Structure 1
Amino acid sequence: MTARLLEIEDLSVTYRTGEGDVPAVRGVSLTVDRGEIVGVAGESGCGKSTLASTVLRLQPPSAEVSGAVRVLGDDVMTMRWGDLRTLRWAGASIVFQGALHSLNPVHRVGRQIAEPIELHEPDLAEGEVTRRVGDLLEQVGLPAARAAAYPHQLSGGQRQRVMIAMALACKPDLVIADEPTTALDVMVQSQVLDVLSGLVAELGVGMLFISHDLSVLADLCDRIAVMYAGRVVELGAADEVFTRPLHPYAAALSAAFPRIGDPAARYAPAGLGGDPPDLRLLPDGCPFTPRCPRAVEECSHAEPPLATYDAGRQAACIRVGQA
């Protein structure tokens, strides 16, 4: 089986709007291997969801895309429509945030899980489809009988599990999870994350997990890419990015989540002032400069490239390695 499931190479996505061009993703390169969970972190508006949707060519017509996105070795951007339909669900699938808005309120959840199975395996007998639906629900920790429920009859965590079951319905190699735990309380969030990590270990799929919560990604992922203003500004092993970040923005995200048993974090919680930049009016230098506590004059002259440091870690900051 192919080890490299997803390869994003120099991807840029620009939205054409009446108020000007919005470069939502700028030159991002990223890979996901079989059995690996890669997290993408960053504030709202940094380009995480645009990156996730572009993997399956779900971007709106107003988006102009350059670069390459290869799923199972095939370039999604140049793929014919029929091949793209085959790839979706069966090769790669996506779990959106807000299951209540993604599920059809007038259909039972079992019918919605069965739909992609019937589409991609039309010769499958009805009884076999029903059995598959029940197996999928049990795989994500729900009794098969819940297939008869409507979305409003399920809790938030149960609906999110149904979304995960739908994503796994056609046995994809790659699963994209776009902030699937954002609207859940911490207990249900933990349960859903356990389900996701268990499925990756059990099925050997690869996963691209999108979240603004760096602490969640540190617990779940093998590697983390931190995005700011449409670019990856740090990439490395999950525990290292969370505990020993190189980029000042990654350090600010990490410091926003207090460590249990750390008095300094409890009595003096850290934060990050200011707002992300307007992508239509990006400065000439590093976009993080106005909010960066370590900025120097040179930072406003040119945007630093994503450079590789010891142990393969990458960061886009001229101050890395300086005292």
Structure 2
Amino acid sequence: MTETTTELLDIRDLAVSYQTDAGPLPAVRGVHLVVRAGEIVGVAGESGCGKSTLASTVLRLQPKDAVVDGEVLVNGADVQKMGWGDLRTLRWAGASIVFQGALHSLNPVHRVEQQIAEPIHLHEPDLADDTVLARVHELMEQVGLPPGRSRVYPHQLSGGQRQRVMIAMALACRPQLVIADEPTTALDVMVQAQILDLLSGLVRETGVGMLVISHDLSVLADVCDRVAVMYAGRVVEVGPADELFTGPLHPYAAALSAAFPLVGDPAARYAPSGLAGDPPDPRQLPPGCSFAPRCPRAVDRCSEAEPPLVSHGVDDRGRLAACFRVGEP
């Protein structure tokens, strides 16, 4: 990856809660995160840990009942304070999103080329139709699809091809920031690898910044520069992707890493690791560290106070973890 300096996305002390019949549901709690130009940052965690809420809040796509505190700065402008005109300009042209499940995101009655062209027509209405069509064909080639396939309908494409169309749509207006929310969840292993190679290649070629959301830590280790691990709405570890996957500091990050056995390792094959239980109900978080009830290393003080997310290590690699027991035997 290229050296990164420009902060495209700067999330500061973000908290998001939903209003429900049972009371407020805190989905994201005090998250800080930065994505720079030419960088891929991953967010990992189990379902219900706040990853997709974080992604949707970047483009202010959260439902109306959501209460948002903190700042979400895209190119220095706070998304939560933008007027609708500025927000409409930001979406697609400044930042875009690739959702999981392309078959549900694409319109089944419109041809692929119409759907890729739509945001271009919206943001550049003075462009001639043939110029837009040429841009669509260029995007198709950029994501590894023959331009001739632009005339088909979504159901005529495979799952991997539909996901490539979604990526082409996300790049249609040349945004600086792309959010990919579980972009490979519904794909088989071989196609998943192709999509990940495509995403990393696009970042190298175009210099965009990318935020990739996934429950699969091994996926993020392959494609990301840095990874943040979320648990119960909070970031519990941040670090370089390779270090976090091979040498996690937080017990939860270690459990996610251990869930993926090493190919050819008999110990991993016959004694697979796992993590019992589920994340806590956000409305009824346990006292202290939210992970303590599931943590094999928990001690009494873990239930007495919530550990802060602090730096660990003597270098500048950005290793942060929210655990009292980092470094202890």
Q: Which TM-score tier does this pair reach, normalised by the shorter chain?
A: over 0.9
After superposition, the C-alpha distances for 1:79-110 in whole angstroms (9 at most, x for unaligned) are 11100100000000000000000000000010
- Give the aligned partner of residue 129 of structure 1: 132
- Does the residue aligned with 1:171 lie in a helix, a strand or coil? coil
Contact 1:2 1:72 in 2 (8 A): no
Q: Which residue of 2 aligns with 1:322?
A: 328
Q: Does 1:251 align with 2:257?
A: no
In structure 2, the partner of 1:112 is 115
Aligned partner of 1:188 in structure 2 is: 191
Residue in 2 that maps onto 1:290 = 293
The alignment of Structure 1 onto Structure 2 pairs a total of residues equal to 323
**Distance (whole Å) between structure 1 residues aligned to residue 196 and residue 277 of structure 2:** 31
- Find the counterpart in structure 2 of residue 164 from structure 1: 167
Tell me the equivalent position of 1:262.
265
> In structure 2, which of residues 291, 315, 319 is the aligned counterpart of residue 313 of structure 1?
319
Report sequence identity in percent.
76
Residue 299 in 1 paired to residue 305 in 2? Answer: no
Q: Structure 2: give runs of 5+ residues left out of the alignment.
A: none
With the length of structure 1 as denominator, give the TM-score of the two structures: 0.99
1:5 counterpart SS class: strand
Given the two structures, how large is their TM-score scaled by the length of structure 2? 0.97
Q: In structure 2, give the amino acid aligned to 1:30.
A: L
Q: 1:32 aligns with which of 9, 29, 35?
A: 35
1:319 counterpart letter in structure 2: R
Q: Distance in 1 between matches of 2:323 and 2:264?
A: 31
Equivalent position of 1:228 in the other structure: 231
Q: By how many angstroms is 1:262 displaced?
A: 2.5
Shift of 1:36: 0.3
User: Which digits, 9 at most, give the CA deviation of each residue in 1:35-88, with x for residues without a partner?
Assistant: 000000000000000000000000001000000000011110111110010000
1:217 aligns with 2:217: no
Deviation of residue 283 (structure 1)?
Answer: 1.4
* Match in the other structure for 1:76: 79
How far residue 261 of structure 1 moved from its aligned partner, in angstroms, is 3.0
Output the CA distance in 1 between the equivalents of 2:198 and 2:328.
Answer: 41
The one-letter code matched in structure 1 to 2:70 is G
SS of aligned partner of 1:210: strand
Q: Which runs of 5+ in 1 are unaligned?
A: none
Residue deviations 1:268-323, cap 9 Å, x none? 11000011100010112111111000000111111111011113300000010101
Task: Give the whole-Å Cα distance in 2 for the aligned partners of 1:212 and 1:188.
Answer: 17
- 1:259 shift after superposition: 1.4
Q: Give 1:260 shift.
A: 2.1
The reply to whether residue 154 of structure 1 matches residue 160 of structure 2 is no
User: In the alignment, what sits opposite 2:68?
Assistant: 65
Q: CA deviation at 1:2?
A: 7.3
Classify the secondary structure of the residue corresponding to 2:302.
helix
Which residue of structure 1 lines up, in the alignment, with residue 11 of structure 2? 8
Give structure 1 regions of 4+ aligned residues with deviation exceeding 6 angstroms. Answer: none
Residue of structure 1 in register with 2:51 after alignment: 48
